[in-house]
Amino acid sequence: MIAITGADGFIGKHLAQYLFKKGIKARRITREGNNNTFAIGNISRKTNWYEALNNIEVLIHCASITSIDNQNSSNIAKLNEVNIKATKNMIKQAAKIGVKRIIFISSAKVNGDLTPKNLKFNNESIPNPKDLYSLSKYKAENLLKLISNKNNIELVIIRPTLVYGEFVKGNFLSLINLINKGIPLPFKNIKNLRSILYVGNLTYFIYMCIFKSDAKGKTFLISDLNPISTPDLIMLLSEKLRKKTILFFFSNIFNANILQYFKKKESLIKFN
């Protein structure tokens, strides 16, 4: 028996659909319990997981806060409550209930924001989280390792790169919206390479981790085969959307000032 937290989110929804096509019925756990899903409410250190995880053998934990609007104390507290303390509470209860394997969807940002020139992150890279979100994921990983080892739970950690696909949200959706509006973008001079991951490839990998015995105890950093530059990504999206996009050149200093002005430096800088 399999359960998915955050089953109404981008990754969770795709995963539930993929498992259904494979003939596997997963218990879909969501905040409000819409569309025949199991309602758990807002998860916290006090959440009672007994009913949601009863008879569950494999738990795929997708639910988390992926970003915060600003770094005030209340938002930081909410991030830590959901991503760290709620995760700790969940695995402690899962151990008592009898869950055998937990697949934790973390983030490649745990490894850091930028790789050294001509190098790549891999499964052996030393973690180097740079922001509050990636730090919360890293702390959650360490708690899960500690508690799973003490309670004989098989733990699999997956660190996806930027995930794209139907119903995508966040920064990728923001970029799509800019292209749809035909807004000229100042990325012509960007000479980067970024690893991204199609959600269908991610769901297939999670599916394999459910059943493969040798996945236990492993941490996987995964992406599509070929990285892509920001200008190439924009032009590819423009082609698929049948929109004409103009890329123009501006200095990095100008770009930084524009991003700071609109208070979106944290989200948009990921594309440069």
The 10s digit of each residue's pLDDT in 123-133 is: 888 899 989 99
CATH topology of domain 2-164+195-222: Rossmann fold (3.40.50)
- Is the entire prediction scored with pTM above 0.85? yes
Q: Which of 18, 50, 133, 207 is catalytic?
A: 133
pLDDT in tens, 36-72: 899 999 999 999 999 999 999 999 999 999 877 667 7
pLDDT in tens, 20-44: 999 998 999 999 887 789 999 999 9
Residue 157 bridge partners (DSSP)? 104, 219
Which residues, other chains included, contact 66 with Cβ-Cβ below 8 Å and sequence gap of 6+?
A: 133, 170
Q: Domain residue spans in the chain?
A: 2-164+195-222
CA torsion, ordered 251, 262, 74, 53, to nearest 10 deg: -80
Interatomic CA distance for residues 6 and 84, integer angstroms: 15
| Chain mean pLDDT for the chain | 88
Is 18 a residue of the active site? no
